[in-house]
């Protein structure tokens, strides 16, 4: 089968490898489409904390089940599915409380011997399989996993319909976080970024306002003026230097900021502002099954056009181009999908 490898920093190759065998509790999925995620770009850049080249990349997937293990009882050949791509391993507080994202030893595609989703075929434990309704296409179904990140972030923020909400960063995760916030009923929303075309996507997804902060040293006050005051909630979906303190400045007293982006290195923290104004800074890591199920419900309902985040569909042979496009923001790329097996669909 063909598989997309991140061989080294900024080096992507498509290689032929053996189709993996399945264990008794696993299923084999013929991949229709896989998405390039921001964390995949961290791997591509050699910056990911635990997913290191060389590796078959990818963790977003949608496709058809073509084989099942002997112990599989709830999934059958021919099912259209996506996957919640994380496992908690070992004894840990996270597993005991039902929060897999708290697990001391978390396993995901591209780690250990678990190959990533960007290949003709992908192996998943039955427990992680999410059936796709007939009304949900593979292109929309593959968005379930990244949208679950946004759903979890909205849950951690405690979004209410009357909240004034800022989403800082309009990459794919920022846009899907906006979709989750909108699904919670919040209408008074603004999205910031440095790229106009990404902000246009935010408007498509229902942002009340958008603001390009590029070259604007006073953007914090301008954003507040645009929205008529400070914010109840801020979702931080861009991991750039200084963004934590900037986000705290956007908050009203007693407001809450949630870190959604993947950060590298240290960030400065204005503890005085945090303490004296009783603002909250909350961490956010992936998702759990209820978040994934809610994400698929949002996609199925079609009240928010989440598919608008998709900017490009590339064939597997063009995977290296896709990674470069996402990394360099070429050709107004936002969410780039890599397709497989299309002639067989």
Longest distance between any two alpha carbons in the chain, whole Å: 62
280-309 per-position pLDDT tens digit = 999 999 999 999 999 999 999 999 999 999
**pLDDT at res. 219:** 98
Based on the number of CB atoms within 10 Å of its own CB, is 50 exposed (0-12), middle (13-18) or buried (19 or more)?
Answer: exposed
Report helix, strand or coil for 150.
helix
**pLDDT at res. 50:** 77
**pLDDT at res. 91:** 67
| Domains by residue range for the chain, with CATH | 2-135+302-339 (3.90.180.10), 150-283 (3.40.50.720)
Report helix, strand or coil for 221.
helix
Predicted TM-score (pTM) of this structure: 0.95
**pLDDT at res. 97:** 75
Residues 6+ apart with CB under 8 A from 71: 24, 25, 126
Question: How many C-beta neighbours within 10 Å does residue 38 have?
Answer: 20
**pLDDT at res. 344:** 40
Full DSSP string of 24-89: TTEEEEEEEEEEPPHHHHHHHTT--SS--SSEE---EEEEEEEEE-TT--S--TT-EEEE---EEE
Q: In the chain, how many H helices and how many E strands?
A: 11, 18
CA nearest 107: which of 120, 92, 97, 121?
A: 92
Q: What is the pLDDT along the chain (345 residues), one digit of tens a residue?
A: 999 999 998 999 999 999 999 999 999 999 999 999 988 998 999 887 778 789 999 999 999 999 999 999 999 999 999 999 999 876 677 766 778 888 877 889 998 899 999 999 999 999 999 999 999 999 999 999 999 999 999 999 999 999 999 999 999 999 999 999 999 999 999 999 999 999 999 999 999 999 999 999 999 999 999 999 999 999 999 999 999 999 999 999 999 999 999 888 889 999 999 999 999 999 999 999 999 999 999 999 999 999 999 999 999 999 999 999 999 999 999 999 999 976 543
**pLDDT at res. 181:** 98
CB 189 within 8 A of CB 178: yes
């Amino acid at each position: 089968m063909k598989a997309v490898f991140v061989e080294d920093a900024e080096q992507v190759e498509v290689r032929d490898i053996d189709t993996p065998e399945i264990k008794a509790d696993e299923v084999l999925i013929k991949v229709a489409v896989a998405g390039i995620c921001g964390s995949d770009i961290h791997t591509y850049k050699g910056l990911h904390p635990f997913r290191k080249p060389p590796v078959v990349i990818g963790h977003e997937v949608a496709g058809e089940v073509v084989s099942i293990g002997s112990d599989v009882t709830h999934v059958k050949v021919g099912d259209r599915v996506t996957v919640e791509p994380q496992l908690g391993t070992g004894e840990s507080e996270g597993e005991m409380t039902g929060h897999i994202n708290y697990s001391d030893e978390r396993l995901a595609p591209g780690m250990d011997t678990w190959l990533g989703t960007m290949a003709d075929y992908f192996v998943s434990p039955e427990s992680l399989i999410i059936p796709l309704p007939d009304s949900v296409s593979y292109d929309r179904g593959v968005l379930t996993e990244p949208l679950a990140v946004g759903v979890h972030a909205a849950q951690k923020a405690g979004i209410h319909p009357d909240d004034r909400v800022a989403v800082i960063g309009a990459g794919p995760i920022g846009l899907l976080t906006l979709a989750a916030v909108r699904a919670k009923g919040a209408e008074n929303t603004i999205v910031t970024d440095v790229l106009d075309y990404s902000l246009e996507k935010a408007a498509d997804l229902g942002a009340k306002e958008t603001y390009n902060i590029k070259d604007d040293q006073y953007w914090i006050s301008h954003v507040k003026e645009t929205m008529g005051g400070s914010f109840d909630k801020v979702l931080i979906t861009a991991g750039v230097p200084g963004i934590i303190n900037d986000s705290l400045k956007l908050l009203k007293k007693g407001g809450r900021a949630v870190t959604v982006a993947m950060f590298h290195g240290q960030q400065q923290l204005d503890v005085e502002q945090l303490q004296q104004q009783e603002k909250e800074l909350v961490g956010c890591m992936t998702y759990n099954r209820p978040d994934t199920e809610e994400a698929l419900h949002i996609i199925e309902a079609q009240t928010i056009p989440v598919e608008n985040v998709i900017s490009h569909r590339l064939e597997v042979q063009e995977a290296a181009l896709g990674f470069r496009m996402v990394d360099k923001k070429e050709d107004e790329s936002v969410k780039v999908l890599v397709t497989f097996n299309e002639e067989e669909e």
